Amino acid sequence: MLAPLADVQARPLRDLRISVIDRCNFRCSYCMPKNATHRNGNFLSRGSLLSNREIERLASAFVGLGVSKIRLTGGEPLLRPGLTHLIERLASVSGVQDLALITNGILLPQMAQDLANAGLGRITLSLDSLDEKVFAAITGYRGTVARVLEGIEAAKQAGFRQLKINTVVQKGVNDHTVLDMVRYFRGSGHTLRLIEFMDVGNSNQWSFDHVVPGSKWLQRIHTRWPLRPLASQYPGETARRYAFVDGAGEIGLINSITEPFCGQCSRARVTAEGKYYTCLFSDQGVDLRPLLASEHDRSALQERIRSCWSRRADSYSLDRDSSGHTTPKVEMYRLGG
């Protein structure tokens, strides 16, 4: 094992998010807006996706550099052919302490048990509203709330406990349904996390006016169901956590816009075709694919990852221009959240 890596701000490399496919069965307005995506979609062909073996090599190389948490993402990761075989491989990589996946949940009813059997450790699920109309409008009229709730139940039956449920809040779109979400998930054993709408990608028409600061939710929720702050569980945790005083579990606030956490950011991301990014808001990735074809290239692969991370100075959210002016970025559905 090589010496632990740190970037120019002494931030270690601890987490790796691997996008396993860029396609999706939803068209969320903040991620893959229908019109823009259909115009510029250009999804990767099946043959251009990294193979399971290449992803296993990739993961193992990152783990050798200090990564202990791996999250599979996309696009919609459950659409990737052979996903359960990939999970089996990753679960057996020595040093992976936390193997997680984030999904829109629509395919969980038929896949949750296979994912558990393959060795997946945790699931995070995205659900922006319990109101079918609001949900349909956000997701481009794909899927239903009822089906996602079935997915949550299937995950529970398969043995996944304490799911994290991510809700991206957009002012004027779903903010009027947030307290219903809080009421529904309080006491359910799952943890709702409210995420500020972010200016990822180039086509979601982001503006600060559409962001509801997490501090407002803290006040509103606390007024209705008193909360007390919880200590973070590990360095670099993105969510501020609060427990319901009455014992009905906890809630998380991910205030990426109003309270950026770049100073603690220890996440690297790799796209489904092998491009390595050190920030969600980058536009340039480093191509790792040529070094993934053979086990013999492991040292060169680790050197490329290391040299890129050690030069890393990213702090996009701290430096964000609040006027809403943004530079070109890779799309979220290619990079993975």
The footprint of ligand SAM (CB under 6 A) covers 24, 30-31, 73-74, 76, 102-104, 126, 166, 168, 195, 197-198, 200, 204, 332-333, 336-337
Is 11 or 210 the residue whose CB approaches ligand SAM more closely? Answer: 210
Residue 39 belongs to what H/E stretch?
A: helix 34-40
Indicate the SS3 state at residue 165.
strand
Length of the chain: 337
- What count of other Cβ atoms lies within 10 Å of the Cβ of residue 217? 21
Q: Indicate whether 199 belongs to the interface with ligand SF4 (CB under 6 A).
A: no
Is 96 or 168 the residue whose CB approaches ligand SF4 more closely? Answer: 168
Per-residue CA distances from 17 to 20, 33, 62, 200, 206 (Å): 9, 22, 11, 16, 23
Q: Indicate whether 218 belongs to the interface with ligand SF4 (CB under 6 A).
A: no
Measured between alpha carbons, how far is 284 from 2 in angstroms, rounded to an integer?
Answer: 26
Is 149 or 248 the residue whose CB approaches ligand SF4 more closely? Answer: 149
Q: Are strands 122-126 and 250-254 parallel, antiparallel or unpaired?
A: unpaired
**CA 217, 121, 249, 195: dihedral to nearest 10 degrees?**
0
Is 49 or 227 the residue whose CB approaches ligand SF4 more closely? Answer: 49
Is 73 or 255 the residue whose CB approaches ligand SAM more closely? Answer: 73
Is 4 or 82 the residue whose CB approaches ligand SAM more closely? Answer: 82
Is 101 or 116 the residue whose CB approaches ligand SAM more closely? Answer: 101
Binding mask 114-133 for ligand SF4 (x = CB under 6 A): ------------x-------
Report the site for ligand SF4 in 224-263 (rule: CB under 6 A).
Answer: 260-262
Residue 330 contact partner, candidates ligand SF4, ligand SAM, none, CB within 5 to 8 A by sort of partner: none
Report the nearest approach of ligand SF4 to the CB of residue 327 (Å): 12
Q: Indicate whether 77 belongs to the interface with ligand SF4 (CB under 6 A).
A: no
Residue 147 burial by Cβ neighbours in a 10 Å radius (0-12, 13-18, 19+):
middle
Backbone angles phi, psi at 203, to 5 degrees: -130, 15
Report the nearest approach of ligand SF4 to the CB of residue 257 (Å): 10
Report the nearest approach of ligand SF4 to the CB of residue 261 (Å): 5
Residue 100 belongs to what H/E stretch?
A: strand 98-103
Q: Indicate whether 276 belongs to the interface with ligand SF4 (CB under 6 A).
A: no
Report the nearest approach of ligand SF4 to the CB of residue 290 (Å): 25
Residue 116 contact partner, candidates ligand SF4, ligand SAM, none, CB within 5 to 8 A by sort of partner: none
Residue type, 144: T
Closest C-alpha to 104, from 120, 125, 134, 75: 125
Measured between alpha carbons, how far is 139 from 230 in angstroms, rounded to an integer?
Answer: 32
Q: Strand order of the sheet with strand 250-254?
A: 227-229, 240-244, 250-254, 191-196, 164-169, 122-126, 98-103, 69-73, 15-19, 267-270, 275-277, 286-287
Measured between alpha carbons, how far is 201 from 40 in angstroms, rounded to an integer?
Answer: 12
Q: What is the DSSP letter of 202?
A: S
Residue 255 contact partner, candidates ligand SAM, ligand SF4, none, CB within 5 to 8 A by sort of partner: none
Q: How many residues bind ligand SF4 (CB under 6 A)?
A: 23
Is 24 or 301 the residue whose CB approaches ligand SAM more closely? Answer: 24
Residue 265 contact partner, candidates ligand SAM, ligand SF4, none, CB within 5 to 8 A by sort of partner: ligand SF4
Residues at the site binding ligand SF4, with contacts judged by CB under 6 A: 24, 26-28, 31-32, 74-76, 104, 126, 260-262, 265, 279-281, 314-317, 333
